[in-house]
Amino acid sequence: MILVTGGAGYIGSHCVMALLKKGYEVVIYDNLSTGHLETVSKLSQFGYVKFINSDLLNTNDLESCFENFKIDSVIHFAAFSQVGESVKNPAKYYRNNVVGTLNLLDAMLNNNVKNIVFSSTAATYGEPKYIPIDENHPQNPINPYGQTKLVIEKIMDDYDKAYGLKSVRLRYFNVAGADVQARIGEWHEPETHLIPNILKSTFGDSKTFEMYGTDYDTKDGTCVRDYINVEDLAQAHVLALEYLKNGGKTNFFNLGTQEGNTVKEVFELCEKVTEQKIPVAIMGRRDGDPAKLVADNSKAKEILNWMPQKSLEDSIQTAYQWEKELSNLNVEVIA
């Protein structure tokens, strides 16, 4: 049985779906601060899912979880992840992300569970010194969110050396898309990610999409990012879990496509998929936005035998279908 912390959230829920497809039994542990009970209900239709509504800061609930279920491995998503908020309120991030993870690791050790797949981030690298970014790139985060993830990676190294707890850290770049059947998808309140915000501009009162910075040293002046499909990402977690189950050593991998797309390219693809002209306002640069962030994913391909399958247009198609579902769901929930 696999414990998935944060399994009611965006990426966690897609990972749970991928695990269920492979026949795994899953316990979701989530405080629903950004996840949704509707997502848990949907997932429970596709396999064995138990849900614990609690927080990683609640050590009694954590211990009960391990005592009540025969958990053999953990996939850990639960974290606060808003960069701007982490700068304004670092205490919230260090307490939740770092202390919560320490509680989880200690509960694992108390119950002799020695395999964990950790949701890390490309934010641990900070300002890129070269592109594409490989796993040997220096890790020098420029915000507290990235710092919390790096601290956790270092803790996991120490827990391996001292206690034999094996981890795989997956460093994501930009995640996009939704379940291909629009059963689950990205659902943040408020939404801060590029693609859903562009797509939301096509609903209701057709609000204007704000594009930040058109004077970067890129082919069209807008930032370049590496967009990985969420279902491809979920598949990487299953492969990482099986790598550990088969005796793999503690390791870390970049997850991206090794291709970059500019904000303008993403915007134009959104207009193509929605068949709508989306109103846009050109704004100044945001502080801390690097011109380019692109992954070197060759290590994950070689060791995990992982290969991204879906294109950016595929991701936008599924994201758009999900936004349609979500707009209906939100109407029903409010009603």
The span from the CA of 125 to the CA of 270, in Å, is 29
Q: How far is CA 62 from the centre of its chain?
A: 22
SS3 per residue for 78-133: CCCCCHHHHHHCHHHHHHHHHHHHHHHHHHHHHCCCCEEEEEEEHHHCCCCCCCCE
DSSP three-state, residue 229 = strand
DSSP string, 149-182: HHHHHHHHHHHHHHH--EEEEEEE-EEE---TTS
Residue 3: which of 79, 71, 101, 77 has the closest Cα? Answer: 71
Q: For 141, which DSSP code?
A: -
Cβ neighbours of 91 (radius 10 Å): 9
Residue 59: which of 105, 91, 113 has the closest Cα? Answer: 105
Residues with a catalytic annotation lie at: 145
The span from the CA of 111 to the CA of 328, in Å, is 43
Backbone angles phi, psi at 288, to 5 degrees: 85, 10
